[in-house]
Structure 1
Amino acid sequence: MNFSFWPEKEAQQCEVTYKGTTYTGFMTLCAAITRAMEEGVPITDPKYFSQISVEELGQVLRSDNETAMPMLQERHQVLLLS
């Protein structure tokens, strides 16, 4: 899932705030996955992520602003093929 975090417009980056720090780019993915694990989502379990719906992945990778994680559909496909 570690690919393309570039927004169409620089001012519209996906952001995830974790433990008081707001992240963008690759670190957004790291923060979102860590947050999901703390919420009890078994995101590192291959059985879970090979069956995850795009909606569930969207919840895991949710942004803290109005800009969603870029290329959610493509990230979902990568998990299903893993």
Structure 2
Amino acid sequence: MNTTTVEQSADFGRHTLPAIFRLQNEGFERLLKLTELNLAAIKGMLDGGQSPLSSLPSGLPSSTGAVGVPQQFFEPALAYAEQV
């Protein structure tokens, strides 16, 4: 095997591998941040949605009680979309 080819390959690896690992780490950090944001949004929606859903009368929801529920879910979803 040609020694210049081996040296060129080793040199290429020394320059390329750190860049590849740096890109992978950046991608992982962004995925982690997005996951944390998703969990916070879900938790907020569940915490905020428990009281309106539990205050509805049993059986079919009335038209006045059902109007506030979608609005309460829409506002956190809009705030989440702005952060993403």
Interval containing the TM-score (normalised by the shorter chain): under 0.3
Greater helix fraction, Structure 1 or Structure 2: 2
Greater strand fraction, Structure 1 or Structure 2: 1
Structure possessing the higher radius of gyration over alpha carbons: 2
State TM-score, norm by structure 2: 0.27
State TM-score, norm by structure 1: 0.27
